[in-house]
Structure 1
Amino acid sequence: MARDTFSDLLWIPHTSHRVCQASEEKKDVINVKHYRCMTAYHAAYAPFLIRLVTLEDVSCLWGLPITGVPVTGTTDGRNAKGRLFELLGIKEHEQSDLLKKRGSERNEKSMELTFLKSKFRERFENLPVERDEDTLKWYVRAYILDLMSSSLYPDSGGDGIPLWYLDLIVDLDTPVQYNWGGAVLAYLYRHLCLATEPGRGSMYGPVMLLQHWSWTRFPVLRPEPQTKNWEPTWGTPSLDTCASFAYKWCCPHKYVSSSHYKTQGARIPRGQFQSLTEDHVNWEPYGTVYSKLPTVTQQGRPYYLYRGPLLFYWIVEHTYPDRCMRQFGLFQEIPVPEPLNRHTHVELHK
């Protein structure tokens, strides 16, 4: 956090909500991969085996912790509203501009994202040369809020940041060790479920994670680095500060262009996915570089095969890594039956 310029970090382009809306464009795999065929296991099917986004993927791709206190709590933002100056440096006369309007009423549980991008960018883009500890913490909280609402837990609205997120980042000196990775996976699973509903034309949630997962494991629609033989430098400058595996997709890339996409839409890549064989899949993409991935990733390794519920506020989703053991280099046996009956599963998704 010692950098004087925050703009390329705090306001990185891919943290826009609009990036997290899936469409059926030629470079997008979200609607291509037959997610309407998914079941409660949140798995992608091919003619040979099930593939699943797991805690291992969250840990390796994004470097998020997958152990710790569940990300949950009250969803009443009124307490946080009274602490906006303390936590973000927003004066009282400015606070009414932060509230998201719903008709003639104002929603006290959501902060206006347009304010965050305009006012906060103007205010926080450059750290003052002479700054106190409180000012620095305002910058840090603003960055975390933007990251949570734009990349980790984006919703369909795209213009609001839930005020209750502030309750998670009050104490920056001795922060609570939350299970951020498990919450992201629960949020992704829930939106995968919602995307299977009839009539759904788009998907929200942390779809950038889904995109990184697909590029890492499947050759279809995978971009190529513009610089030949480019390789990421994992492990530097140290394992405590180095990039996660998804850094592989951060360099300038190019896509294979095809005029057929203009007339055929997603039919071509759908066929390509259906034509995949097991030899086309990178089952264990992290093995060769695992020792160079962040420390937090290596600490989470004992929990990759965790089978049970994942929590994010009101969302409860279950993960079943025993249904995709080949992703862990293990033999696939007959999975243990799902512990939830259909009625309980339906109730959890209301």
Structure 2
Amino acid sequence: MIECWRPETHTFHLRTSEATITLQDVEVIYGLQIDGQVLYRVEPPDMLAYRQELARLTGFEPLQRDMRGRSRLLRSSLHAHLRLVDLQHPIGEATPQAHVDQRARLYLLIIFGGIMFPNTSGADMSIRYLLFIGDLDQLGCYSWGVVVLAYMYRGFDRASMGERLEVAAFIPLLQIWMWTRLRPFQPIAAHPPNDYVAEDMPYARR
């Protein structure tokens, strides 16, 4: 599909027509808000500010060697911390709400930094999203769908114009969109209809 992508128009140039993922697709497929509050990027002055905010909101204070740059964290360190706290302090009915919220923010960081907004390194993840998960009640008020689509377009652009083998984008969204919108990619049912005809993959014309 990346070979079919054209960054000039942000569309897939297929053999029969052009197609692209829209904001409506993002909202319908994953239920992500597209008309909420605007998400914006604000950089704290230094790396220590991110580490302090991470500790305040999640109870996890990483070592300095686990940080990559100002706002990136080794994914392995976060996963190891989560496995430890889940084992030692499992969530139960008697767990204070503050601890439940801290655990939820850790999992949200994994979802944001590792799934919805990944990078091509595969080893670290951004923790800039701490700025938006302090108040969990407000989490659904932001226009996450707009950011996901813009980030996906940028990932497709970079992959199509360079020699990268990895794509930094919300790939599950692309997969489900292909299954629902492009018939050649749809899974074949165990008992397909009698009139079903398999089609070739619609490669882009060169």
The reply to whether residue 80 of structure 1 matches residue 80 of structure 2 is no
The reply to whether residue 190 of structure 1 matches residue 154 of structure 2 is yes
Q: Which residue in 2 is equivalent to 1:95?
A: 62
Query: Judging changes above 3 Å, is the alpha-carbon distance between structure 1 residues 75 and 176 closer, same or farther for their aligned structure 2 residues?
Result: farther
Q: Which residue in 1 is equivalent to 2:202?
A: 273
- The partner residue of 2:26 within 58, 61, 84 is 58
The reply to whether residue 124 of structure 1 matches residue 86 of structure 2 is yes
Give me the TM-score of the superposition, normalised by structure 1. 0.50
Q: CA deviation at 1:65?
A: 0.4
In the aligned structure 2, how far is the partner of 1:183 from the partner of 1:175? 14
- For the 8 Å contact 1:220–1:272, the answer to whether it is kept is yes
Counting only pairs closer than 5 Å after superposition, residues 23-172 of structure 1 correspond to structure 2 as: 30-31=1-2, 34-35=4-5, 38-76=6-44, 77-90=47-60, 94-96=61-63, 99-101=66-68, 107-124=69-86, 126-172=90-136
Q: CA deviation at 1:155?
A: 0.8
- For the 8 Å contact 1:87–1:170, the answer to whether it is kept is yes
Q: Which residue in 2 is equivalent to 1:341?
A: none
Q: CA deviation at 1:172?
A: 2.0
2:66 partner letter = L
Q: In structure 2, the residue corresponding to 1:44 is in which secondary structure? A: strand
In the aligned structure 2, how far is the partner of 1:98 from the partner of 1:178? 32
The reply to whether residue 211 of structure 1 matches residue 140 of structure 2 is no
Q: CA deviation at 1:122?
A: 2.8
The CA RMSD over aligned residues, in Å, is: 2.6
Q: In structure 2, the residue corresponding to 1:161 is in which secondary structure? A: strand
Structure 1: unaligned runs, 5 residues or longer: 1-29, 102-106, 230-268, 276-350
In the aligned structure 1, how far is the partner of 2:99 from the partner of 2:179? 39
- For the 8 Å contact 1:81–1:108, the answer to whether it is kept is no
Q: In structure 2, the residue corresponding to 1:82 is in which secondary structure? A: helix
1:138 partner letter = Q
In the aligned structure 2, how far is the partner of 1:144 from the partner of 1:98? 22
2:82 partner letter = F
1:213 partner letter = W
In the aligned structure 2, how far is the partner of 1:137 from the partner of 1:176? 15
Q: CA deviation at 1:164?
A: 1.9
In the aligned structure 1, how far is the partner of 2:91 from the partner of 2:172? 29
- For the 8 Å contact 1:113–1:161, the answer to whether it is kept is yes
Q: Which residue in 2 is equivalent to 1:177?
A: 141
- For the 8 Å contact 2:33–2:140, the answer to whether it is kept is no
1:115 partner letter = S
- For the 8 Å contact 1:69–1:176, the answer to whether it is kept is no
- For the 8 Å contact 1:109–1:163, the answer to whether it is kept is yes
- For the 8 Å contact 1:153–1:184, the answer to whether it is kept is yes
- For the 8 Å contact 2:133–2:139, the answer to whether it is kept is yes
- For the 8 Å contact 2:159–2:166, the answer to whether it is kept is yes
Q: CA deviation at 1:146?
A: 0.9
Q: Percent identity?
A: 23
Aligned pair count reads 194
Query: Judging changes above 3 Å, is the alpha-carbon distance between structure 1 residues 141 and 98 closer, same or farther for their aligned structure 2 residues?
Result: farther
Query: Judging changes above 3 Å, is the alpha-carbon distance between structure 1 residues 63 and 202 closer, same or farther for their aligned structure 2 residues?
Result: same
The one-character-per-residue Cα deviations of 1:191-245 (angstroms, maximum 9, x if unpaired) are: 111112143333221122111111111122432466x69xxxxxxxxxxxxxxxx
Structure 2: unaligned runs, 5 residues or longer: 193-198
Query: Judging changes above 3 Å, is the alpha-carbon distance between structure 1 residues 114 and 225 closer, same or farther for their aligned structure 2 residues?
Result: farther
